[in-house]
Amino acid sequence: MTNQLTRDELVTEISKNLLPEDADFVNALNKLLQDLGETRFLNIALTCYQRGLEHLQAKRYDFARIDFDRTIKLNPQADAYYQRAIAYYGLQNYQNAIADLDKATTLQPQRAEFHDLRGDAYLKLKNYEMALANYNQAVTLGFPSQKLTDLQREWNNKLRQEEEKRKQREAEEARQRAEAEKERQRKEAEEARKRADEKERQHKEAKEARQKAEEERKQREAEAKFPQLAQFLAKGEWRKADEETRRVMCKIMGRESEGWLTEDNCRNFPREELKIIDALWVKYSNGKFGFSVQKKIFVEQCGGTPGEYNDDAWCKLGDTVGWRKGGSWLSYSDYTFTTNALHGHLPLALLVIGVSGLGWGGVCFSFLASKL
């Protein structure tokens, strides 16, 4: 016996596979059913929608999306957009899901499930503010509040974390600014120090240059004033230089014919001329000979005071520079007129000017030393 489908079963079976391009066939079949007095007709949009729901149930999201595309093309209703949004959500295409839910809520703004799913999609995109707004709207429309509560707690935690990060970031930026400012100040101080050092160096060099120029000027004047003395010293003729020293000192004080100076002569000897004579000795002996060299030894090694006579200091000076030997003062012919002499040994003019070994010679030396 052949199995035959009832008319209702036939309609159901045909509906399962309807597509939009079957519109002419469906229209013709519906007219036939109407002529036969049937009240159930074929509906392509409804068929695609129901088939899409079956695909959703089976998690065949791409097939579901295709059928909901067909449904929306034929009948763009809110439910079709909502179901396609579910398919997009299953495909992890959250932006398209939100776009469909925007259309669905425009058509039916009071549907809480639309706002709830849109909140889920925004949450997937980590747009917490929009997710909270949609969950809040869903709760307002009667949806359970658990998602809103959970997300609010998560959002508050996130805000606290971001606030803590912000504070840490600001603290780090402040620290870096402080370090940068400290480094800037250090560099500024270093540059200022360098400028000050450079200025001081230039000042010192200028001062030294002036001093050198002054010394050279004085040296030229000295050599011009006492040319014979300068010539003997330059040639290393130390005895002749010593004798010339005595001669010019006596000449300065108007005692050239006597060949020696009195105590008053030494006390009143011109300071400038004495310094010029001393400078010539110091220069040409490279600092080994000169009245100022003898004065330094007299003060630092012998305990003498310029301007005051001290027999012990005077005798110690004689021992130190080689004017005395074995407690006795040497005669002029016994002194050393070479660079092998002791430091400060020359000039000997004072010993010849006065009476060798007597305190009077020490008095004269002390007066002259006070002028240097």
Please choose, from the candidates 269, 303, 289, the residue with its C-alpha nearest in 3D space to the C-alpha of residue 339: 289
Please choose, from the candidates 89, 101, 156, the residue with its C-alpha nearest in 3D space to the C-alpha of residue 134: 101
Query: In this predicted model, what pLDDT tens digit does every residue of 120-158 receive, in sequence order?
Result: 999 899 898 898 899 899 989 988 878 878 877 777 788
Whether 86 and 143 share a structural domain = yes
Please choose, from the candidates 321, 318, 308, the residue with its C-alpha nearest in 3D space to the C-alpha of residue 364: 308
Whether 98 and 209 share a structural domain = no
CA dist., res. 86 & res. 117, Å (int)? 8
Which two structure tokens, joined as six digits, stand for 225?
């004033």
Say which CATH number the domain at 117 has.
1.25.40.10
Give the range with max mean pLDDT: 11-15, 98-102, 138-142: 98-102
Whether 238 and 363 share a structural domain = yes
Q: Of the residues 172, 203, 225, which one is the last residue of a structural domain?
A: 225
Whether 172 and 120 share a structural domain = no
CA distances from 80 to 49, 101, 115, 135, 236 (A): 7, 10, 15, 21, 124
Mean pLDDT, rounded, for 175-187 = 91
Contact criterion met (CB below 8 Å) for 120 and 89: yes
Which structural domain, as residue segments, surrounds residue 216?
Answer: 160-225
Whether 109 and 11 share a structural domain = yes
Residue 21 lies in a domain: yes
Contact criterion met (CB below 8 Å) for 213 and 222: no
CA dist., res. 9 & res. 12, Å (int)? 5
Q: Is the pTM of this model over 0.75?
A: no
Whether 25 and 123 share a structural domain = yes
Whether 26 and 90 share a structural domain = yes
Residue with structure tokens 């045909």?
14
Residue 344 lies in a domain: yes
Query: In this predicted model, what pLDDT tens digit does every residue of 238-250 receive, in sequence order?
Result: 999 999 999 999 9
Total tally of structural domains belonging to the chain: 3
Residue 124 lies in a domain: yes
Whether 165 and 204 share a structural domain = yes
| H-helix segments, 268-371 | 271-284, 291-300, 311-321, 349-353, 359-369
Residue 97 lies in a domain: yes
Q: Of the residues 101, 128, 153, which one is the last residue of a structural domain?
A: 153
Whether 51 and 179 share a structural domain = no
Dihedral of CA atoms 311, 335, 290, 287 in degrees, nearest 10, equals -120
CA dist., res. 13 & res. 5, Å (int)? 9
Q: Of the residues 153, 172, 206, which one is the last residue of a structural domain?
A: 153
CA dist., res. 179 & res. 94, Å (int)? 46
Residue 143 lies in a domain: yes
Whether 87 and 135 share a structural domain = yes
Q: How far is CA 224 from the centre of its chain?
A: 60
Whether 59 and 165 share a structural domain = no
Residue 1 lies in a domain: no
Which two structure tokens, joined as six digits, stand for 103?
């259309």
Residue 313 lies in a domain: yes
Mean pLDDT of the chain: 84
Whether 15 and 145 share a structural domain = yes
What confidence score (pLDDT) does residue 290 get?
92
Residue 42 lies in a domain: yes
Query: In this predicted model, what pLDDT tens digit does every residue of 326-366 receive, in sequence order?
Result: 888 888 888 889 989 999 899 986 654 544 444 456 777 88
Look at residue 2 and tell me whether its pLDDT is greater than 50: no
